[in-house]
A = this chain, B = another copy of it.
Amino acid sequence: MEFEYSPKVKELQAKAMQFLNEEVIPSEARYKQELSEIPMWETPPVIDELKVKARERGLWNLFLPAHREGLTNLEYAPIAEITGRSPWIMPEALNCSAPDTGNMELLHHFATDEVRDRWLPPLLNGEIRSVYGMTEPAVASSDARNISTRIEVDGDEFVINGRKWWSSGAMSPRCKVAIVMGKSDPDGSPHRQQSMVVVPLDTPGITIVRSTSVFGYADGGHGGHAEVIYDNVRVPRNHLLGELHGGFAMSQARLGPGRIHHAMRLIGMAERAYDLMCERALERIAFGKAVAEQGVFQDWIAEARIRIEQVRLLVLKTAWLMDTVGNKEAAVEISAIKVAAPEMATWVIDRAIQAFGGAGVSQDTPLAEMYQQARMLRIADGPDEVHKMSLARRELKRYRKDS
């Protein structure tokens, strides 16, 4: 057992922190400014400049897994954490933002050569963005059996009919392709009913209806969260990912690393909020002394530190488990971090908001916007309750076996 980061990780951490402090944080004001000037759903130009700089510094596509000459989960996790400190800019600047990372993985492993060659290179180059079409408005999508979008074989083509929402990024003009999950065999066993297909967004039959906001945030710079209708959308059969009816397993595989990424970014957000709250408390005077001297505030600081440290260790251990024994053996821990990280981050950010008062809820700090990201992650990819249920069932099995 050894808690020191490896030399390789330390070097990457130093580079990422340098980029964060030298380039990203100083660009945040410009990002906001540009957002208010460009047409809705477009990407602020500063992002493209930062992409170039990140690439020059060797901070590009770091999410790529070890077997593709990238990093292990345990190596990438601390970098993902740093990107979370400026969550609207840095993940995209490093070409490491969701849902593109997961989509690139799916294309790499499961697409036919033609499809992969068409979509993977521009994604790896950060030229286009992509969508993951999973969640549906009419049903509880955390239960995959509820998915109602149909993917039917018709000769050489798949025909897709359905309605998806929370298709994050789809409002952006840069967003060119979707991976869509739907039912290809409604009568199959629960986890063999679904397929995934690659759908170019200019295919006839696709209508982007609107975008949903999160709390009051449109997330315009990242292409919002679109509601998309697929009405007799047709793609060639070679646009299938992996096996027919094998969509559920791929979606699960996709989620493993994604949960590490989300969890670590949440830790980064919590650390940013913590920094801001400590700095503020040292400056701010109330009732005759600095807020930092007040007992209740100190209690928050201590609680926040205790919670952050614990979650970080749990996420790192989970990353290590995924690297060493695989996602399946790490299922309890993956569920655990899915629940623990947003819970911790919402708590820490909420305390920081409280420490800032009016500035905390407003645009003058990144706190309220971070809060909604963290809050959303108690819902996205399955609500807390579903993950706890599944964690508990897995745990209880151990006791069943024994008896």
Contacts and interface: CB of A to CB of B under 8 A. Distances in A.
A313 B317 contact: yes
A5 B2 CA distance: 9
Contact of A299 (B9, B137, B388): B388
B301 A1 contact: no
B361 A321 contact: no
A297 B299 CA distance: 11
Interface in A283-312: 284-287, 291-292, 294-299, 301-303, 305-306, 309-311
A344 to B, nearest CB: 9
B357 A140 contact: yes
B302 A392 contact: yes
A299 B392 contact: yes
Contact of A321 (B3, B137, B303): B3
Contacts of A279: 399, 403
Contact of A375 (B139, B295, B340, B361): B361
A118 B321 CA distance: 50
Contacts of A378: 354
Interface stretch (A14-22, A47-55, A86-94, A365-373): A365-373
B389 A298 contact: yes
Contacts of A113: none
A191 to B, nearest CB: 13
A76 to B, nearest CB: 12
A282 B396 contact: yes
Interface in A122-144: 135, 137, 139-143
Interface in A369-397: 369, 371-372, 375-376, 378-380, 383-389, 391-393, 395-396
A140 B388 CA distance: 24
Given A1-B3, A336-B306, A340-B306, A301 B216 contact: no
Contacts of A329: none
Contacts of A400: 282
A279 B287 CA distance: 24
B332 A305 contact: yes
Given A279-B403, A285-B146, A311-B310, A301 B358 contact: no
A379 B354 contact: yes
A215 B216 contact: yes
Nearest to A384: B354
Nearest to A303: B388
A110 interface: no
Given A140-B285, A299-B296, A314-B313, A379 B395 contact: no
Interface of A: 1-6, 9, 74, 135, 137, 139-143, 146, 165-166, 212-218, 225, 275, 278-279, 281-282, 284-287, 291-292, 294-299, 301-303, 305-306, 309-311, 313-314, 316-317, 320-321, 324, 332-333, 335-336, 339-340, 353-354, 357-364, 368-369, 371-372, 375-376, 378-380, 383-389, 391-393, 395-396, 398-400, 403
25 contacts: A1-B2, A1-B4, A1-B5, A1-B74, A3-B317, A3-B321, A140-B285, A140-B291, A146-B285, A215-B361, A216-B218, A216-B368, A282-B400, A295-B297, A296-B298, A299-B385, A299-B389, A301-B396, A302-B392, A305-B332, A305-B336, A306-B339, A309-B333, A353-B379, A361-B379
Top 5 A-B pairs, shortest CB-CB distance = A216-B216, A295-B295, A302-B388, A298-B392, A216-B217
Given A301-B392, A309-B317, 12 more contacts: A140-B286, A146-B285, A216-B218, A279-B399, A295-B295, A295-B296, A295-B298, A296-B296, A298-B389, A302-B388, A305-B395, A310-B313
